[in-house]
Amino acid sequence: MGELLYGIHPVAEAFAAGRRTFDRLFLSRSRRAKHMETLVERAESAGVPIEFQGPEFFQSHFGTAVHQGVAAQVSGFPLSDEHTILKRAGQDKRLPLILAFDGIEDPQNLGSLVRSGLALGAHGIVIPKVRTAPLSPAVSKASAGAMEHTLFARVPNLVASLNRFKAAGLWVVGADPGSRSPVDQVDLNMGLVLVLGGEGTGIRPLVRKTCDFLLSVPQSNRVDSLNVAIAGAIMMYEIARQRRGEGTREKGRK
């Protein structure tokens, strides 16, 4: 089943990724900008029909969402699997980094995490079939199109999936604000699966038990003021920082 992507970056990145089939490109007839010309060129080279529409078309389909006068009728988002994610990680010179989301239901948080993951070297993302925001055009928009380049595996049992990654030689680390192990004081130079829990509930107990260890983001006061998208981005950045050879903060002070 197809869907309507909207926004400049999701549509442009879907063209660039080449994983979706385009049925039609819709552009606002009242807007003329450089990105419009680029999208027209891409559509014409791919043989995709272009329709110029008035504001009522975008209003009726997207309401108050920021569509930027761009939309495309495309095939549904292509899912991957654990094996393909591991294969991508194995083909990379960098250490594996796989993300696992346990109950992230807000499209904005999911999109932000996907964007951070692509920027900071994640090889793929594992999500459970339930208690997770669908991989919708809203998530693609929130990710600024990063979702279009990301491998996703949707699994029926997240614990079983994490155990399979362990069997493949990866360590499973969970983000937990109650952990006494700050992320910047633990050596993370190993193949990792980073587990991030849902808004307000965190990682479920059985998933937490499956983690090899838990990490927290150090904060200057006792109130946990970071949402999952910010905490996840900080942890991913710290992993990437250490892998550039900068070591842990603790080692840096010695």
Residues 69 and 6: their CA atoms lie apart, in Å, by 8
pLDDT tens track for 26-81: 998 876 667 788 899 999 999 999 999 888 999 999 988 889 899 999 999 999 99
With beta carbons less than 8 A apart as the criterion, state whether 25 and 50 touch.
yes
Cα torsion 110, 115, 118, 120: sign: negative
Q: Do 55 and 87 share a domain, yes or no?
A: no
| Residue 29 pLDDT | 85
Q: Judge if 60 and 92 occupy the same domain.
A: no
Mean pLDDT score across all residues of the chain: 91
Find the mean pLDDT for residues 100-121: 96
CATH number at residue 172: 3.40.1280.10
Q: Of 74, 94, 128, which residue constitutes the final position of a domain?
A: 74
In the chain, how many domains are there?
A: 2
d(CA 100, CA 127): 6
Q: The tokens of 246 are what?
A: 């900068």
Residues 68, 91 within the same domain: no
Q: Is 196 found in the same domain as 131?
A: yes
Cβ 149 vs Cβ 114: under 8 Å? no
Q: Domain range spanning residue 22?
A: 3-74
Q: Are residues 184 and 155 in the same domain?
A: yes
Please report which confidence band the pLDDT of residue 253 belongs to, taking 50, 70 and 90 as the band edges. Answer: very low
Q: Which of 74, 90, 107 is the last residue of a domain?
A: 74
Give the pLDDT confidence of 185-243 residue by residue, as tens digits.
999 999 999 999 988 788 999 999 999 999 999 877 665 567 899 999 999 999 999 99
pLDDT, position 31: 67
Tell me what pLDDT residue 8 has: 93
